[in-house]
Structure 1
Amino acid sequence: MIYELDELDHGIIKRLSEDGRVSFAELSKCLHVTEKTIRLRYKNLIDKEILNVVGIVNPIAVGLKAGAIIQMKVKSRSLQTAIEELKKIPPIRYITVTSGEFPLLVQITVKDQEKITEVLYAIDEIEAVTDVNTIIQLDVHKNTFEYIH
């Protein structure tokens, strides 16, 4: 069942997306409701798994300055096997099934070009993967976690 977000839910999520450390008191002032209402809505958003509270690492601040998007073709009937093997490669932070010529796409963020090469060697060891197309990210202009506008 899909949970229908109302204007207050949208407001809470939007404000937390901007500043995950904003207090319930500040949210209540900003959204013109009681702090108790904010607490209850926040708990509901967590309980319904609409909102996850995590710390987001700034990759550049921790020395991860190289990124790549890697597209892959896989053997027939081996898509799930390839996905499970890709999940075991720590620098891979995003895996998605896509339409088109390359049904798998992953994204990595690593220290340098050498680490990108290491990931490519690890992918090459996956028997289900038959072809790879690597796109090196030269400059990232937007990387957001805001899904509610």
Structure 2
Amino acid sequence: MKFEVDELDHGIIKHLSKDGRLSFTELAIRLQVTEKTIRLRYKNLLDKGFLEVVGVVNPLAVGLKAGAIIQVKVKSNSISKVIEDLKEIREIRFITLTSGEFPILFQITVKDQIRITEILREVNKIECITEVNTIIQLEVHKNTFEYIF
């Protein structure tokens, strides 16, 4: 049986994506249902993989003030190998396969420009990478965990 996310589930997800510390009681009040209903729906959303509970770190608060988006070109048939190598670099927080000239894009958030340079040196040692394009983030104006679906 396929699990469908209904309007109530959407409401739970929407509220928690804005404030993950909302109590079940507060969610029940806002969504005009019982607390028991919220508890059951919440558990179901977790069990079905629609919702994950994590603590999100404010990078500035922990001294991470520099960021970059890095695109890489790779040799033929080596995308999977390069992705596995990139996963080993701790500061890489996001890796995605993309269309276009640069098939891999990843993002880093680090303490300073010196660490960006060090990571770029590590990346350039990965054998199958043929070209790197680095985009330094100057200011972040929106960073949300709210998904519209």
TM-score calculated relative to the size of structure 2: 0.97
After superposition, give the CA deviation of every residue in 1:90-147 in whole Å (9 maximum; x if it has no partner): 0100000111111110000000000000110110111011100000011110011101
- In structure 2, the residue matched to 1:24 is 24
- In structure 1, the residue matched to 2:101 is 101
The residue identity in structure 2 corresponding to 1:69 is I
- In structure 2, the residue matched to 1:6 is 6
Question: Quick one: percent identity of the two aligned structures?
Answer: 70
Structure 2 residue matching 1:12: 3-state secondary structure: helix
**1-side partners of 2:82 and 2:116: how far apart?**
19
**Does the aligned pair in 2 maintain the 1:17–1:145 contact within 8 Å?**
yes
**Residue 148 of structure 1, CA deviation:** 3.4
**Residue 10 of structure 1, CA deviation:** 0.6
**Does the aligned pair in 2 maintain the 1:71–1:132 contact within 8 Å?**
yes
- In structure 2, the residue matched to 1:43 is 43
Distance 1:2 1:119, change over 3 A: farther
**1-side partners of 2:103 and 2:4: how far apart?**
32
The residue identity in structure 2 corresponding to 1:143 is N
**Residue 3 of structure 1, CA deviation:** 3.4
**2-side partners of 1:2 and 1:111: how far apart?**
44
**1-side partners of 2:114 and 2:3: how far apart?**
44
After superposition, give the CA deviation of every residue in 1:48-77 in whole Å (9 maximum; x if it has no partner): 010000000000110101000000000110
- In structure 1, the residue matched to 2:141 is 141
**1-side partners of 2:148 and 2:132: how far apart?**
34
- Residue 121 of structure 2 corresponds to residue 121 of structure 1: yes
Gaps of 5+ in 1: none
Gaps of 5+ in 2: none
Distance 1:25 1:97, change over 3 A: same
**2-side partners of 1:19 and 1:70: how far apart?**
30
**1-side partners of 2:133 and 2:61: how far apart?**
28
Q: Say what the alpha-carbon RMSD is for the aligned residues.
A: 1.2
**1-side partners of 2:21 and 2:143: how far apart?**
19
The residue identity in structure 2 corresponding to 1:124 is N
